[in-house]
Chain A
Amino acid sequence: MSTLHWAMVAPFMLALFVPFLYKHVRSIHTGWFILPLPVALFFYFIRYMDIVQQYETVTETVPWIPSLNIHFTAYVDGLSLLFSLLITGIGSLVVLYSIYYLEKEKEKLHHFYVYLLLFMGAMLGVVLSDHLITLYLFWELTSISSFLLIAYWYKRERSRYGAKKSMLITMFGGLLMLGGFLALSVMGDTYSIRELLAHSSTFVNEPLFSVALLLILLGAFTKSAQFPFYIWLPDAMEAPTPVSAYLHSATMVKAGIYLVARLTPIFALSPLWIWLVGGTGIVTLFWASFLASRQTDLKGILAYSTVSQLGLIMSLLGIGALAFHYNFAENIFIVATLAAVFHLFNHATFKGSLFMVVGIVDHETGTRDIRRLGGLMTVMPMTFTIALIGSLSMAGLPPFNGFLSKEMFFTAMLRVLEADIFSLETWGILFPVLAWCGSVFTFLYSFLLISKTFLGEYRPERLEKEAHEAPVGMLLAPMLLALLVIVIGFVPNILSDTVLAPAVYAVLNGLFKPGEGVDVHIAHWHGWTPEVFMTLGVIAVGTVVYKTFPKWNGVYRRLPERLSLNHLYNRLLEWMEKGSFALNERYMTGSVRTYLIYIFTAIIALLSVSIVLKGQWNIEISRFAPVGIYEIVLAVVIVAGALTTLVSKSRLTSIIALGSVGYTVALFFVLFRAPDLALTQLVIETISVALFLLCFYHLPKLRDHGKGYSFKLTNAIISIAVGVVVSTIAFLSHAYKPFESISQYYVENTYEKAAGKNMVNVILVDFRGFDTLFEICVLAIAALGIYGMIKLRMTKEEKLEK
């Protein structure tokens, strides 16, 4: 195992020790033991920057199941490094924050940190895996650990609801994604993403191409909370705030983004990909930013805002895929990919800090409801400053980093208009329009977030606790993030060469050679362009909307709850549960008669269909033996016996008639020269008739006893059909005898080899004695079973009597 692999498994290994640390070192908050790991990992991954900056990659392989070609292959390039740095960097800050957020005495910290470490390891696995199957393994691990973290306060009903919802939706997507991965590996005949990327251009015409594309996209969309699968994310806000900050803003929800970015070179040639990724992204951006403004819960606002920002990144990735359709020289779409990567980074910084701020407000006031909050600016000045920086960056205002990436976003959206393929020249206009509208709403909710929480008048009587500034330790992590927001805002180019350019190079794999040209775009972030006017428009319209918000706020109330996707999800679950229950109730009646009807009907249907399909209708009469008078007489007798059994009114008659059938069968054995069979049949028939009589004697005195059978048409039809089908098969198979019987061997060798003359008996005890051995076992089991049933019943009765 290489150091890279140790880095990947380190969180899992530390997770093993967390409970011991928690149980035995009670005086120190368990988080302090966790903190060094993500910090160390962060600095470990920083070291890769030198390699990645040279457009070189690192690959390390550890075999897992070599016979199935499954390996733990770790692969570091620009994209995975960017994600690894986010995961470990924000992970460190979140752990630091959680130390002050979660109380040592009240909370089950060992649960929390085990889950968090599991998540961190899984997420690192997702972004560093080169192998599709291990990627899927880590992907599901993130789902599971996220499920555990959302339901951390498992005694709350809402937590369990949110955890179940996120589990169902992300697992649904994850499984579909596995299907997509398998389709992809079938197409490329390899599981390695690198190798798939290497010959990706040949996939477009494969029949599985669209299947793989759709399934993988479903996986990515469910994970990254895209429309219409975003509904789990607002409900996941029941998790502790550090979890929301880490999983549901900065890392896990970006796993889908990562996947889309990673597989862009494979699927980018398809118009379906561009429209689905870009279209879904832009719709999600618009819809979620629209919905965010109506939320009254601070974390609700941030959840919808996260969804909307993820939509933004997704749409940029979709447009960025257009770059594969044009020559590199005049390529104007690379900027979209650059914007996506840049915004990905920016979003992680400002959204992480905003979540932490909201957690502080919750922690210090006891509520997150904006209708009860207000005027905290003077009470919590530090928190306010951080929130302001984060919100302005989220709204896309200068001089923060959100402004830069939003400008690039507008640039990319405007450039869609210049595309002349895949009907983008006509419908492409939707992109800038929706982007602009979405930005207005983003501006609106960012300002609502600030004004409702921090501005206005301070009303302590509405709050559960008396508000005061948070401790420094809690403020430290959001402060660092806010600092990053500002620094990137002022000097974005410290990122561009080190992180962003290699990441863009990784996303647009194979499009250009290392170091060709992308850098120019990053440096180019100034000038009087249409984008600036769009931003000015956003600010102007946004301010107007914000000022008049109470007047048209009623629009949201008009939105019927019944049409919401949440309602649809709840009804769907309810309907599935009720439907399957009703279905089960309907066909699992509990009556053996019904099940027999199913079984026989199935037999009839399957057999008759296969007879008809085969169409072998030759009945060979030449093979029939001549029929003598004895056979006819016995046949008449046996038919009469069978009919009597069927129609007799008394059970006694039926038993006797059944006996007559048995003895007639014995006579048939005599007639067809089977003396052993005849002997046995006679004795066995006698015993079974005696047993029947015994049963008859013990029957309870029922009301309808002796009234005979009741005729049911369905039963008659089914039994006649079974008879007809089986007879037909008997006739047909009699005509079809492709091989000679092997009985000649026995005839010849019974005396020669087995020293016997009774061939039946020699076969039973010698040639095929194995069957006999187990048949006597069957008999023994039957006898012991009868003994057990009767004796045990008696002891049970005796016990009851006592």
Chain B
Amino acid sequence: MNNVILRTITAVVVPIIALFSIQLFFAGHYYPGGGFIGGLMAAGAIVLLLIVFDIRTVRKMIPINYQWLIGTGLLFAVGTSAGSLLFNVPFLTHAYRYVHLPLLGKTSLHTAVLFDTGVYLVVVGITLVIIETIGESD
């Protein structure tokens, strides 16, 4: 079946969804969003690719083992939480600092973002593991 329209639209839409996902993720600390919904959105973009192309093609496009992604995400979350122990403060104490960056201006750097990255990666990983596993089974 020739679904050229679908493919073309996908090519345009997936970057937009991906950007939206990243926006949701980074805005999470100040506006609605965060790791969870961001991760789901990113997974959604890849699901759209899966619908339009087949699993093998998508694997070539994005050569990531999603199970590793889950592990990496958990490491991020635990690492951030346990990192605070090095500074002699309780587990999961976050730190933040305002810095002036070129282009962006006054920006807050916050370890909570690292924690949220863990959430993000885990959510992307689990969604895609589930969907791929089910999709591959007959």
> Contact residues of A with B, CB < 8 Å?
675-676, 679-680, 683-684, 687, 691, 694, 754-758, 760-762, 764-766, 769-770, 772-773, 776-777, 779-780, 782-784, 786-787, 790-791, 794
Contacts and interface: CB of A to CB of B under 8 A. Distances in A.
Name, among B36, B81, B133, the residue most crowded by chain A CB atoms within 10 Å (CB to CB): B36
A755 B133 CA distance: 40
Nearest to B76: A776
15 contacts: A676-B33, A679-B24, A754-B94, A758-B28, A758-B29, A758-B30, A758-B33, A758-B34, A761-B34, A762-B29, A765-B35, A765-B112, A782-B130, A783-B126, A787-B129
Given A756-B110, A760-B32, A791-B133, 8 more contacts: A683-B37, A754-B94, A755-B110, A758-B31, A779-B122, A783-B125, A783-B127, A784-B70
A757 B118 contact: no
Interface residues of B, number: 44
A219 to B, nearest CB: 54
B96 interface: yes
Nearest to B109: A755
B120 to A, nearest CB: 10
Nearest to A779: B126
B123 to A, nearest CB: 7
Contact of A776 (B24, B41, B119): B119
A774 B74 CA distance: 9
* Chain B contact surface mostly: helix
B35 A783 contact: no
Contacts of B115: 765, 769, 772
Nearest to A694: B134
B22 interface: no
B37 A780 contact: no
Name, among A675, A676, A783, the residue most crowded by chain B CB atoms within 10 Å (CB to CB): A783
Contacts of A779: 122-123, 126
Contacts of A784: 67, 70, 129
Contacts of A769: 81, 92, 94, 112, 115
A758 B25 CA distance: 12
Contacts of B44: 683
B108 interface: yes
Contacts of B122: 776, 779-780
Contacts of A780: 70, 73-74, 122, 125-126
A779 B128 CA distance: 12
A680 B36 contact: yes
B45 interface: no
Interface string B34-60: 111100110010000000000000000
Given A676-B37, A783-B129, A786-B133, A761 B67 contact: no
A653 B88 CA distance: 57
B74 A777 contact: yes
A381 to B, nearest CB: 90
A772 B112 contact: no
Contacts of B78: 773
B119 A757 contact: no
Contacts of B137: 790, 794
A800 to B, nearest CB: 15
A516 B37 CA distance: 95
A790 B134 contact: yes
A756 B112 contact: yes
A685 to B, nearest CB: 11
Nearest to A794: B137
Contacts of B29: 755-758, 761-762, 765
B119 A761 contact: no
B31 A757 contact: yes
Contacts of A756: 29-30, 110, 112
A683 B43 CA distance: 11
Given A687-B127, A766-B94, A776 B118 contact: yes
A679 B32 contact: yes
Contacts of B67: 784, 787
A96 to B, nearest CB: 71
B46 to A, nearest CB: 13
Given A773-B78, A783-B125, A755 B96 contact: yes
A791 B137 CA distance: 8
A700 to B, nearest CB: 15
